[in-house]
Amino acid sequence: MNKTELKAFRTILENRQAELGFGIRNREALAVETSPDELDRIQHASERDYAMSNFELNSERLRDVRAALLRMDAGTFGICAGCEEAISPKRLAAIPWASRCIVCQEAPDFEGKTPVHGIEFSLDLAA
């Protein structure tokens, strides 16, 4: 990966970090509101649950973005943490904070599944 591409990825990651950081600091939606009306309490609880889920997702994504910036500083950005091969430029364009190539990322998803004609299917019929 050349310096121009790295600079472009750094800009994307830094912008994403700023967006996510602002969203995490804005915690108004997590406030507990009380109401004498049962329907209002249910609505507020539902909105708070949704906000909490978003908060957790954004926190995780912010950690991923910061880790990608650290990999960039260490000179390992774009190298798969699993197999140490280059991560596809298409994958990095879609997910600039990716730390694994698509094969290594999907490997844990396919553990315990049996291949059938090159396609993985789960044989857990109890689920």
DSSP category for residue 8: H
What is the structure's pLDDT at 44? 80
Extents of the domains making up the chain:
3-121
- CATH for 3-121? 1.20.120.910
Tokens of 39: 């329907």
Are the CB atoms for 38 and 7 separated by under 8 Å? no
What is the structure's pLDDT at 24? 62
CA angle 79, 80, 84 (to 5 degrees): 80
pLDDT, tens digit only, all 127 positions of the chain: 889 999 999 999 999 999 888 766 655 655 556 667 788 778 887 888 888 888 889 899 999 999 999 999 999 999 999 999 999 999 999 999 999 999 998 876 666 554 444 554 444 544 4
What is the structure's pLDDT at 40? 78
User: How far, in Å, CA of 115 to CA of 82, rounded?
Assistant: 21
What is the structure's pLDDT at 127? 44
Which amino acid appears at position 40 of this protein? D
